[in-house]
Structure 1
């Protein structure tokens, strides 16, 4: 049963939004979960604003009534970020989806938060420019900024933190705030833009972003190569980075993940041993030089089956297979559900951390294929479990926790790109120490009524 303050909020929002405020069961169910293994919980209503002014009015009403608010992009997050654990109003930004400005000379674009990465790149097609952050899912840029997303291109082009120049944000009391500018650098005061990048909807709602663009490379080539073990693959990557090879993508897939790839993609028969998937960007001559240099490193470190392709269709097939790693991993156990986790460590510690992780996986008795953005020291586990098997779920959660703690032991972080949400909040005090208390102070100062995505990231009651 809804509380009086939520009923009052819904009544006021229905006057403001009309049929763009929904309490229908299917809409509430859609907004009750993301792609994580956390339990779904319905919001009391879902609002679909179309302007910044509407977002401001919604937040002002919710703040006055102490009604919880959860921002929602497309629902592709992986740690329960958008689960409305205290009910309230979910604000779905999907109708705020305009590419507002493209500044070709300055290599930037201004977009609304509901614009997806593929939508922006489609708008850029004729300009010779591209937006580079690619988390795999066709996520919204607002959601990607809120979770500080990254992905396969990060090793060369950076994360969302590196690619957001400015923001328009609505604070919990409805105030509209502008941070940053289209200038490439500034030394004027606190960096408020990057306070909101990674804040996961706990401080406000992003209603506009200025993002960095890059020129599309003249030539692109992709490659695969196999290694006898994880250590030799990682050593090859470390040497490549130390040599200054400007690799655009460096993806690691372990032997279990390669087995799943072969099951899921019968026409892609590759040896079931650790592989690197790579991509090179530059001039035709430059790419050829990169490929030659990297091939020499592969040979030096005991790698084999080095094969590269520059045809668009071949590259597309390769990266489609990589982006479908989740489904390929699940093919290892028909009908399985999954618990997904990630962590990130210094690159020099990656091979040792993965080796220890694989020992923990073996001890758990579970199947858990591994993929990683090896150039960043970031890897992911897909832990497969039988549906409704409480014992396996408990073992999977314990396995994920051991991997998170292992990352901290190696001087890393419990999440390189999945974020915190509900799933990783309990590790933050250990990872950040006194700095975590400061995060709580900032949250309390900006959102004293604790209406913004309560129960996430920080520990306010």
Structure 2
């Protein structure tokens, strides 16, 4: 084990009691929501400014000590786990909304600001931050993992939402990657390089994010379908017809069984569903609803249940966001191994059908939900954590679904990211480009101290 006592001593001089070596704090920062073994950091730092992050990284760089940025710990592929020890940098105290520019539709925030916190601050302005991955994640973590979620089909992901970043590099240098201008042709697009880099290239200390106006009318609904394929075909035709859907979520019949168990105050037929939301003017939403209903009925859609007031919409989407707990209601006492893939939307129905066959072959329960407007779907594979055979079969199922995504021209992760959990697929998905990613990593972090063991070869 590497002796990092000198590093910890210098960081204690800098931070005082905001550097913790307590076992409970280290354990909290040694895991995320993934099915990944815990690995403890040597200490956890709680900086309150960019200057402090820069000084922490410079101290660690001088000692060759790993640094791992930590938002709120909701990632799903082992991103924040310090597999080689080191210092976990918890950004929770850097949680200020610094600027809101109503006229320009943007905001400047520190990385520890959560999406709900920002939307609370925006409530009086008539603006909203639209990236919604379900968990109340920090914006720094969301940028680092290129998060998306239920609104991405209309408003885009963090890739489209982040306008500029402030980043601390591996030697402690602080850089700005852009401006508040909505577009630029000035040099390399460093903002997009750091969005999705999962803390392996730098630590995000400030973000400028795009905002949107709250629409005049919002209407949500659920619609039942005879098969998953019918629901997916409805979505494909709706998108090809140019309908500006705000949200289009698929939940298969197994997932709907869990939704019924977990939400006794809500009634759901246990058949495939689409959860829908339409944004726009009064007239525009009415036109969108009518056009979608016409398309859906061509594919055998059954009942539409509408939620037009705010309270009912919130209940509906809260139920969707709590799908993880609905999954576990199907088999109490089990754990869930969660995975996601994304394919071209034209291949979605075939990929899902093949995935459901793989679930049956594995003999496991694995409810399916998907952001089908993007071709992205998720499985929550339920297993007894004390049954090695179930763990083996679950790992085999996750592998089979990843392979299916690649065979259908897709990616092994549309949302959750690579972390350490999906590194084994990177060379197959990217070919020689994966080695190029490694070259970029070594150029920016020659000593490999930034979140080592994630994403790239030789890291």
TM-score (norm. length: structure 1): 0.99
Taking the aligned partners of 1:115 and 1:313, their CA distance within structure 2 comes to 25
8 Å Cα contact 1:171-1:203 kept in structure 2? yes
1:293 paired residue number: 291
Deviation at 1:267, TM superposition (A): 2.1
Q: Secondary structure at the match of 1:16?
A: helix
- The aligned residue for residue 279 of structure 1 is 277
Distance (Å, rounded) in 2 between the aligned partners of 1:389 and 1:336: 10
Deviation at 1:408, TM superposition (A): 0.4
Q: How does 1:232-381 map to 2 (within 5 A)?
A: 232-381=230-379
C-alpha separation in 1, matches of 2:45 and 2:15: 8
Paired position in structure 1 for 2:390: 392
Take 1:75 and 1:138, find their aligned partners in 2: how far apart are those partners? 10
**Which of 68, 80, 83 is residue 81 of structure 2 equivalent to?**
83
Structure 1 runs of 4+ off > 3 angstroms?
Answer: none
Q: Retained in 1: the 8 A contact 2:147–2:158?
A: yes
- Give the equivalent residue in structure 2 for 1:198: 196
Matches within 5 A, 1:43-122: 43-122=41-120
Alignment of 1:162-177 (within 5 A): 162-177=160-175
- The 2-side partners of 1:21 and 1:290 are apart by 53
1:23 to 21, 24, 28: 21
Q: Equivalent residue of 2:150, what SS?
A: coil
SS for the counterpart of 1:102 is strand
Matches of 2:248 and 2:161, distance apart in 1: 20
Paired residues of 1:450 and 1:460 also in contact (CA < 8 A): no
C-alpha deviation, 1:459, in angstroms: 2.1
Local SS of the residue matching 2:177: strand
* Cα separation, 2, equivalents of 1:29 and 1:312: 39
SS of the counterpart of 1:304? Answer: coil
Aligned equivalents of 2:265, 2:163: Cα separation in 1: 42
Structure 1: 5+ residue runs without aligned partners? none
Q: Give the drift of 1:25.
A: 1.0
Q: Does 1:135 align with 2:171?
A: no
Taking the aligned partners of 1:290 and 1:127, their CA distance within structure 2 comes to 26
Q: Distance in 1 between matches of 2:344 and 2:447?
A: 38
Question: Which of 390, 403, 413 is the matching residue for 2:411?
Answer: 413
Residue 349 of structure 1 aligns to a residue whose secondary structure is: helix
Distance 1:47 1:425 in 2: 27
Contact 1:202 1:453 in 2 (8 A): yes
Structure 2 residue matching 1:50: 3-state secondary structure: coil
- TM-score (structure 2 length as normaliser): 0.99
Conserved 8 A contact 1:257-1:328: yes
CA contact (8 A) 2:31 2:80 kept: yes
Task: Please point out which of 399, 407, 425 is paired with 1:401.
Answer: 399
Q: Let me know the Cα RMSD of the aligned residues.
A: 0.7
The separation in 2 between residues aligned to 1:249 and 1:329, in whole angstroms, is 21
Query: Is 2:434–2:457's contact at 8 Å kept on the other side of the alignment?
Result: no
**Counterpart-to-counterpart distance in 2, 1:404 and 1:30:** 29
* d(CA) in 2 for partners of 1:231, 1:219: 30
Gaps of 5+ in 2: none
Deviates more, 1:196-205 or 1:298-307: 298-307
Where 1:90 maps in the other structure, the secondary structure is: strand
Figure out how many residues of one structure are paired with residues of the other and give that number: 459
Q: Deviations over 1:284-317 (max 9, x none)?
A: 1111111111111111111101122211111111
Is contact 1:36–1:77 with CA below 8 Å preserved after alignment? Answer: yes
Alpha carbons 1:13, 1:58 under 8 Å: kept: yes
Measure, in 1, the Cα distance between the counterparts of 2:307 and 2:344.
30
Greater displacement, 324-333 / 301-310: 301-310
